[in-house]
Amino acid sequence: MQNPKTVMQAKNISKRYGQVTALDGADFELLEGEILAVIGDNGAGKSSLIKVLSGATIPDSGEIMLDGQTVHFRSPIDARKQGIETVYQDLAVAPAMTIAENLFLGREILRPGFLSKFFRLIDKKKMLQEANRHMQDLKIGIRSMQQSVETLSGGQRQGVAVARSAAFARHVIILDEPTAALGVKEGNMVLELIRNIRDKGLPVIIISHNMPHVFEIADRIHIQRLGRRAGVVDPKKVSMSDTVAVMTGAKQPADLGDGLLIA
Amino acid sequence: MTQSTSVQPKKSFLEQLPSLTVLGPLIALMLIMILFGVLSPRFFTGSNFSVIIQQVMVVGVLGIGQTLIILTSGIDLSCGVIMAFGSIVMTKFAQDYGIPPMLAILAGLAATTLFGFINGLLITRIKLPPFIVTLGMLNIVSALTLIYSKSATIVVPPGALLFFGNTFKIGETSIALGVLLMIGLFIITWLFLTETAPGRHLYAVGNSPEAARLTGIPTQRVLLVVYTVAGLIYGIAAWLLVSRTGVGDPNAGQTENLDSITAVVLGGTSLFGGRGMIFGTLLGAIIIGVLNNGLTLTGVPSINQRWITGVLVILAVTADQLSKRKS
């Protein structure tokens, strides 16, 4: 069997804030077509790692590679230009604006023609069509793209935020606690959406505290501990309690047997 | 899966009706007009409408700048006095220094734009609240205006400075050219806000600054541009004011300061930012004009006019607050 390609890789990343070492030579790997969950106790460096990958933080040392090419992100805008989209925990949508407007916020489709480009005239009809097509692609059942986001439920709003990233990501989507603020049914809806995105060929990194959700959706689980990667496990072969034990340091990664993919 | 992707469910007629925040001011305006029509036989006359339209002109244009700012969830308490300063610069340059009127007007526009720019810098660079910045600017600029003009009213030489006061007649009503300028500015602003990407970004910055920033919109630059452009618009209002009154008055702009905010709020734009329509402000300015005019015609002392406008503003803000709570 052919090994899946590595889409994104980070080697030996370190980041210190004064006396505090957030990342201490952390490694990271995301494979083509997978959902990779990143878990870790508070202070394990999980958000620091994600911030480095999404360009929000510049690491002190280490290397990030995208499709085998070394990249340097100085801001989230740089990462976005490389096709990496991040959905932040606090729902980053403008509630009074319509779904279509939110999907294209900051990246509006302009009308053709020189004058339209000069005045930056937006193509509302095209944006509406694209929004419809895109939301149907992801099987998000919202009837009208012209309703304002504030009329939606929390899960639907998260759906809009995730769909926006999916529309523009060419390489990777990073989701920070996408189900944290949601009820059971809504959470499942968002998980389904994440699976749809993976099935369309876009690899997904998901940070979550919700172990049942992680085990339900992840293809591999990256366990972050004390600023480094403790290991990557296969959720089909390792139990939830063993994973949590490694995460908290109660067990050594080596104890996990063949469920441990990378030590 | 044979669903067509381009079909958008048609909104029903009821859904298309503008909400009460838009319809409310229109109904209020019609009720007020009917009331004054009954109370005063002089209300529904062409010459009276001329007076109203002339009054609406200045507050309306100020209100455009004010609307842009309030949409970003800011506020400008200094717009009226910035306009007054601009009108002093225009008239003083032309009258006292003998500079050609067109250049004097440009100087006035530059001065008001500069004040808007300073407001914007203080708000975006030092991150001061717009309320405080513009409150300070209100006092600074009104003092500067009095110092610079030596508290004297300046007579305007004929020519470009009076251009927008020229009138043409439609029936009994004479309409100043400035009214056409005002309507033109409203249409341009409307097109900008609804049809361009920067216009939508302005709404996003007011509605959810964090979401706007995360999608890569340069929120601070949007704010700086908005305050600066508002300054330019106040300069245009200064030109209209000079055209209408024929003098440079250092004490002008005091009532227009709050009237512009009143017009915006009456027009249904939310003080919380991100919601509102530019034509609502035109409606709001007309309501203020009609109210002042009608109360004068029916012999209500001007003291009473002021508290009546005050009550209207509080009512409009209450409606805004309630609709926010509902959603």
pTM: 0.87
Nearest chain A Cα to B3, which residue? Answer: A136
The pLDDT assigned to A23 comes to: 95
Distance of CA B155 to the CA centre of its chain: 26
Q: What is the mean pLDDT of residues A139-155?
A: 87
Q: What is the mean pLDDT of each run of 10 residues along chain B (327 residues)?
A: 40 49 81 93 91 92 98 97 98 94 97 98 97 97 97 90 90 89 97 96 95 89 98 98 94 91 92 92 94 91 83 82 67
> Given a cut of 90, is residue A12 above it in pLDDT?
yes
- Distance from the Cα of B272 to chain A's closest Cα (Å) equals 11
Compute the distance between CA of residue A142 and CA of residue A153 in angstroms, rounded to an integer.
Answer: 11
Q: Which residue has the higher pLDDT, A93 or B3?
A: A93
Show Cβ contacts of residue A133 under 8 Å, excluding neighbours closer than 6 positions.
B5, B6
Q: Which amino acid is at A11?
A: K
Contact B72, B222 (CB under 8 A): yes
- Which of A87, A97, A118, A160 is the best residue to mutate to test the B interface, defined by the most B CB atoms within 10 Å of its own CB? A97
Q: What is the mean pLDDT of residues A22-46?
A: 94
Share of chain A above pLDDT 90, in %: 66
- Which of A87, A110, A120, A146 is the best residue to mutate to test the B interface, defined by the most B CB atoms within 10 Å of its own CB? A120
Q: Which residue has the higher pLDDT, B17 or A110?
A: A110
Contact B47, B29 (CB under 8 A): no
- Which of B208, B221, B271 is the best residue to mutate to test the A interface, defined by the most A CB atoms within 10 Å of its own CB? B208
DSSP label at residue B268: T
Cβ contact A106–B195 (<8 Å): no
The pLDDT assigned to A9 comes to: 95
Cβ contact B8–A145 (<8 Å): yes
Contact A34, A57 (CB under 8 A): no
- Distance from the Cα of B215 to chain A's closest Cα (Å) equals 6
Q: How many CB atoms lie within 10 A of CB B40?
A: 18
Compute the distance between CA of residue A105 and CA of residue A102 in angstroms, rounded to an integer.
Answer: 5
Q: Which residue has the tokens 């526009």?
A: B109
Question: Is this complex's ipTM strictly greater than 0.85?
Answer: no
Compute the distance between CA of residue B63 and CA of residue B236 in angstroms, rounded to an integer.
Answer: 12
The pLDDT assigned to B326 comes to: 56
Size of interface A-B (CB pairs under 8 A): 80
What six digits make up the tokens of B249? 């008055």
The pLDDT assigned to B44 comes to: 92
